[in-house]
Chains A and B, each alone.
Chain A
Amino acid sequence: MRKVVLVSSLIVVFVLFFEAYRENVGDEWRYYQKRYKEELKKLATNDQEKQLANNYEIKMRQIVLPELNRVDRCISCHVGIEDSRMGDAQQPLTVHPGDILEIHELDTIGCTVCHDGQGRAITAKEAHAVGIPYWEKPMLFQPFLQSNCFRCHNMDELPQLMKFHEGKKIFFSNGCLGCHKLEGKGGQLAPDLTNVADANIHLKHPVNEDLIRQFHKNFNIAYIYESVKNPKAQPEVTAMPSFNFSEEEVEALTVFLKSLSARAVPASYLAQKRGGHQSEDVQGEALFRKYCVACHGIDAKGGVKNINYVKRTVPALNTLAERMFLAEPEDANKAAELLEKGVDITNMSPELDVPNRGRFLAQYRAIRNVIEKGSIAGKEDSKGPEPLLHMPSWAEGLTRKDIDSIISYLIKLYPWGEKKSEENNE
């Protein structure tokens, strides 16, 4: 029994000793700081610098950012981050590339608000959080570093972030908002994208291994990328069409989507009054591209497949003029301009001087009604599945003026040239 006491006591003592060693001597940041100190000694040219190098204290270093609720201990290893002499040093001692730290003061901004990663951690593995499944925001790699600028900046003032702006353009011109919502505007058919960069459901349902590896174990980016590149890979049946974007377009779009994060910074951190991503479009074409084009197709030439829908595909809208009894281009232009100007044509304004005025107005009301109220897609085979796509209601998403602009745009899309040539052929 005494032996048992002795042996187990020795085990406890050894474990405590090794733990103390691991914690107080074996830390990797101590090693890097020692290396930095050696570098400093080598670089010292005069007595004062030598003195400074000798006095360099090896200790835990951190940037405390109470307003951001962050503590960034990255500089415990990246000790040379502000030291311009460390340009040629190896990681982690090297200086921050570029002149970014000149405008971003390290002491007030820290590291993780731009780079993500786990600031409180003190080992490289856990701080970078690459492959640490329980840290939702692993360190970002290019080009996704651009996304985080949105946290503090008005992105319009940073045109140099090419990928981001390319992605933003793609987002607003492919009708994503027809189904998705962003900052309160958009459709209801698909998930709200306002905070998609924080979405962590993919931690529970990871996407495929190769993608996760491709994006440095960042589950969020892998998930966004896959949703854009190959929507059909989603776990549930999705109505999202495949857009056949090029690899570069997908990447740009992913950069944009990665910026959609709720973790806002306090007002004092904003570079300027930061706008959202949404701008006020009033022009019919812009609105159409923002909200409608994903289903109704480019130039409204008819759209994507809608399984078990009576008409099989989402209807084309470029023949609206004909359906509204506007037989001549001049009449169509007249009506379109009135609508674009925002004139309320329903009260029989004398300006509306087109033939079949009554039938035109009735048709106009019907079309506006469909946009405002939406409509359910009829089934082709009554026993088949519910069609995935149906026209959502836009009564809250679009103003009457917006709707008029869109109708105006659609009227103008009518292919008069082709029609004329067909007539001539006859």
Chain B
Amino acid sequence: MPIKAIKEFFRNFTELPKALRQSVVRHDKPTSDRARSQIIFGNIFLHILSTRTHRYSLKKTFTLGLGVMAVSSFIILLVTGILLMIYYKPSVEMAYDSIKDIHFVVPGGRFIRNVHRWATNVMIVTVFLHMARVFYTAAYKKGRAFNWVLGIILLVLTLLLGFTGYLLPWDQLAYWAITIATNIAASTRELTDVLNMTSYCDPGGFIKVLLLGSEHIGEEALIRFYWLHCIILPLALIVVLAVHLWRIRKDGGLARPDKLTEKELEGTPKDALSDKVFDYAPEKTYGLMCLVKGKSPAVSRGPEQTVSSWPHLVVRLMAVFMMTYAFICLYAFFFNAPLKELANPSVPENPAKAPWYFLGLQELVSYSAFMGGVGIPTLALLGLAFIPYLDRENQEIGRWFDSKEGKRAALFSFIFASLMTIGMLALTVKLGWLRNWFPHIPQIVITFINPGTILVLAFIIWSFYWMGKDNSTRMAALALFTCFLVAFVILTYFAIYHRGPNWEFYWLKSQWPTH
């Protein structure tokens, strides 16, 4: 009967939106825990989350959403970066003009470039803060050691992405910042020169040429940075980030204390199953016990204090993403990304400053190129990466600064490092350093005895002091990490705002000499 087919066709036609929706999401509004779980593991993007999330992991003051902010800004950077690639031309002749055209005539170009530029800064800041959060909550412990190392790798990749992107506009800012930064990379020469071996072993020069493809910044460097910035580094970051997130799942979610008081869970969501203690064990279990760590199944223990990830976790992720995006959008609306005059190799910027996140290092480089450029950063990165292996103290994790003692160690270290760093800067600015006092002193002495190395030494001694005082490697780590973080922030601030032409000290930029 053709009538039946026609009827069916019209019914199908009227139900098209519903059928379409169902074919995509494959379920109705979830009403049961089972349905909510299904949303999570039935969706390729969400299934990296576990179906239930611990209430403590949703506590605002615990994570501050920093890791999610970093990932959010990375997603924003990916999207805007891909859009910018359509118009950007990586050639010395055309790069600057193409940025000008993006700014002036490409539809949405200026806004997208602004978003891309400011999202970079948001990502770098949040990555640093996220690292600090993980450290101060001791979240690198209990099987999470390697994930901390992955985090350090992600930090380095983030900085490299920012650094390679810095050159692409081909303006004065870019050109001279990269000049400074690659000279920092070549700073092992200070040491090899002293040892008289630069002519046959020059690792710094090798790295510089590897980065630039030439002795000088030109077309080779530009295309290389473009390639790194658009292909290699984002790919590497995506892969490492995937492992980083995957490991959070495999390590049993975010770090949290074993015993939690109700007060500590205040302000976190709760559902019917949160307080439930399961006392029924199935007689037969098809467990993955041989694969999954821990005692399972969890019977007669708890309550587990978890909530369904849908909607509690997902809505929080969305909130953090949208907040990050809204902040960057607002900033991009009011402030244009910097673009100075066309790069001119014959007119150096004075002061020529590296990208802001390397300015702390540049301050150290002004004391000793080798120590500031290679010695101290290598030491700091290795030190950071090995923290979880050197501090394996068994302790409660997941609380800011662990305990009262931890808070005290961090506070005293904060005061100590602030005083030390500011004092050292004041001393160097006011009185100069060995070279001013003994003009004929050999460079090798300054390489090893300069404000930077003295700070590092003081911090290490300080850290050992706390190790002995509290008889704890964790306290030593807390003290050392705080010292480095404080010094990094102060040095960066100092180099951004108080260093003027010829790297001289000025209180204000308006005091820079005009002639």
Tell me if A5 and B322 are in contact (CB < 8 A).
yes
Q: How far is the CB of A239 from chain B (nearest CB, A)?
A: 17
Q: How far, in whole Å, are A16 and B322 apart by their CA atoms in the complex?
A: 14
B449 contacts across to A, CB distance below 8 A: none
Range class of the B interface residue count: 35 or more
B332 contacts across to A, CB distance below 8 A: 15
Q: How far is the CB of B88 from chain A (nearest CB, A)?
A: 15
Is A233 an interface position by the 8 A CB rule? yes
Tell me if B322 and A8 are in contact (CB < 8 A).
yes
Within A372-401, the residues touching B (CB, 8 Å) are none
Is B93 an interface position by the 8 A CB rule? yes
Tell me if B330 and A15 are in contact (CB < 8 A).
yes
Instruction: Determine which of B97, B315, B341, B515 lies in contact with A200 in the assembled complex, contact meaning CB atoms within 8 Å.
Output: B341
B501 contacts across to A, CB distance below 8 A: 204
Is B333 an interface position by the 8 A CB rule? yes
Q: How far, in whole Å, are A72 and B315 apart by their CA atoms in the complex?
A: 49
1/0 per residue B482-515: CB within 8 Å of A? Answer: 0000000000000000000100000000000111
A139 contacts across to B, CB distance below 8 A: none
Within A352-382, the residues touching B (CB, 8 Å) are none
B276 contacts across to A, CB distance below 8 A: none
Q: How far, in whole Å, are A207 and B515 apart by their CA atoms in the complex?
A: 6
B107 contacts across to A, CB distance below 8 A: 23-24
Instruction: Determine which of A1, A24, A233 lies in contact with B319 in the assembled complex, contact meaning CB atoms within 8 Å.
Output: A1
> Given the known A-B contacts A204-B349, A205-B515, are A120 and B101 also in contact in the complex, defined by CB atoms under 8 Å?
yes
Is B347 an interface position by the 8 A CB rule? yes
A20 contacts across to B, CB distance below 8 A: 108
Q: How far is the CB of B312 from chain A (nearest CB, A)?
A: 8
A7 contacts across to B, CB distance below 8 A: 326
Q: How far, in whole Å, are A7 and B325 apart by their CA atoms in the complex?
A: 12
Instruction: Determine which of A1, A69, A235 lies in contact with B316 in the assembled complex, contact meaning CB atoms within 8 Å.
Output: A1
Instruction: Determine which of B104, B171, B330 lies in contact with A73 in the assembled complex, contact meaning CB atoms within 8 Å.
Output: B104
A8 contacts across to B, CB distance below 8 A: 319, 322-323, 325-326
Tell me if B514 and A206 are in contact (CB < 8 A).
yes
Q: How far is the CB of B84 from chain A (nearest CB, A)?
A: 16
Q: How far, in whole Å, are A39 and B468 apart by their CA atoms in the complex?
A: 86
Is B461 an interface position by the 8 A CB rule? no
Tell me if A12 and B341 are in contact (CB < 8 A).
no
Q: How far is the CB of B500 from chain A (nearest CB, A)?
A: 11
Tell me if A5 and B318 are in contact (CB < 8 A).
yes
> Given the known A-B contacts A8-B325, A136-B341, are A204 and B513 also in contact in the complex, defined by CB atoms under 8 Å?
no
Tell me if B104 and A12 are in contact (CB < 8 A).
no
Identify which of B101, B172, B333, B515 gathers the most chain A CB atoms within 10 Å of its CB.
Answer: B515
Q: How far is the CB of A196 from chain B (nearest CB, A)?
A: 13
Tell me if A5 and B319 are in contact (CB < 8 A).
yes
Q: How far, in whole Å, are A235 and B501 apart by their CA atoms in the complex?
A: 13
> Given the known A-B contacts A1-B316, A19-B111, A233-B515, are A11 and B104 also in contact in the complex, defined by CB atoms under 8 Å?
no
Within B332-350, the residues touching A (CB, 8 Å) are 332-333, 339-342, 344, 347, 349-350
Is A122 an interface position by the 8 A CB rule? yes
B342 contacts across to A, CB distance below 8 A: 136
Which B-chain residue is minimally distant from A2 (CB atoms)? B315
Tally A residues with Cβ within 8 Å of B.
39
Q: How far is the CB of B216 from chain A (nearest CB, A)?
A: 20
Within A201-217, the residues touching B (CB, 8 Å) are 201, 203-208
Q: How far, in whole Å, are A18 and B111 apart by their CA atoms in the complex?
A: 11
Q: How far, in whole Å, are A136 and B322 apart by their CA atoms in the complex?
A: 40
1/0 per residue B104-135: CB within 8 Å of A? Answer: 11011011000000000000000000000000
Is A325 an interface position by the 8 A CB rule? no
Tell me if B104 and A120 are in contact (CB < 8 A).
yes
Is B270 an interface position by the 8 A CB rule? no
Which B-chain residue is minimally distant from A135 (CB atoms)? B341
Which B-chain residue is minimally distant from A3 (CB atoms)? B319
B330 contacts across to A, CB distance below 8 A: 11, 15
B111 contacts across to A, CB distance below 8 A: 19, 23
Is A84 an interface position by the 8 A CB rule? no
A52 contacts across to B, CB distance below 8 A: none
B326 contacts across to A, CB distance below 8 A: 7-9, 11-12, 15
Which A-chain residue is minimally distant from B349 (CB atoms)? A204
Is B100 an interface position by the 8 A CB rule? yes
Tell me if B97 and A120 are in contact (CB < 8 A).
yes
Is B180 an interface position by the 8 A CB rule? no
Q: How far is the CB of A211 from chain B (nearest CB, A)?
A: 11
Q: Which 10 A-B pairs have the closest CB atoms?
A: A8-B322, A8-B326, A11-B326, A4-B319, A15-B329, A134-B340, A235-B515, A120-B100, A8-B323, A1-B315
Q: What are some 29 contacts across the A-B interface (CB < 8 A)?
A: A1-B316, A2-B319, A4-B319, A5-B315, A5-B318, A5-B319, A7-B326, A12-B329, A19-B111, A23-B108, A60-B105, A69-B93, A73-B105, A118-B100, A120-B101, A120-B105, A134-B171, A134-B339, A134-B340, A134-B341, A136-B341, A200-B347, A204-B347, A205-B513, A205-B514, A206-B514, A206-B515, A233-B515, A234-B515
Residues of B in contact with A (beta carbons under 8 Å apart): 93, 97, 100-101, 104-105, 107-108, 110-111, 171-172, 315-316, 318-319, 322-323, 325-326, 329-330, 332-333, 339-342, 344, 347, 349-350, 501, 513-515
Beyond the given pairs A1-B315, A8-B325, 18 more chain A to chain B contacts, judged by CB atoms under 8 angstroms and listed by A's residue number, are A1-B316, A1-B319, A2-B315, A5-B319, A9-B326, A12-B326, A15-B326, A23-B107, A23-B108, A23-B110, A69-B93, A71-B97, A73-B105, A120-B104, A134-B339, A203-B341, A205-B514, A208-B515
